[in-house]
Amino acid sequence: MRTWHKILIAPGIAIAFLLAFGAIAYSADIPTGTALLEFVVSIIVGAMAFAALGLATTAIVPNAEAAPPVVNAIILPLLFVSGVFIPLTARSPQWMKTLGDIFPVKHFVEATMSSFYGAGYPIPFDWSDVLFVAAWGVAGLVLAIRFFSWEPRK
């Protein structure tokens, strides 16, 4: 089996399990039709883009011990400015909204949430969010190809 198949199968099984568990245990509605396609594409594009960005991040990580603090220093502020932990409102600072719009986290969350919840979500699904995440993924892939190394940096 090709490597990229393996990369997609494990997360796909995990997502299917979580969706099934949510439907059985919590009577959660599962997207169908076009919404299911939008959800699946959003998840696949997001997984590939963030994997590429993770590999690109290795360019600034000196060794394995430094990886968790470096990654946390990057992702935690991005999660806050993207409205993941605390939703951004009209009263949120404009600089925070602008910063969140620049990075892919907000666009990924909006694409997956709007495709999953459909009309029940305040923001309608927009393919431009998926394309924005994909563009970041391509940039991450280019950087990863250029700078990734199995050897620690000194």
User: Using one digit for the tens of pLDDT, what is the confidence trace for 89-134?
Assistant: 889 899 999 999 999 999 999 999 999 888 778 889 999 999 999 9
User: Using one digit for the tens of pLDDT, what is the confidence trace for 58-85?
Assistant: 989 888 899 899 999 999 999 999 999 9
Among residues 136, 130, 133, which one has the least CA distance to residue 115? 130
In sign, the C-alpha dihedral spanning 122, 128, 130, 132 is negative
SS3 137: helix
> pTM for this structure?
0.86
Rounded Cα distance between 76 and 84, Å, is 10
Instruction: Give the Å distances, CA to CA, from 4 to 58, 62, 103.
Output: 20, 27, 25
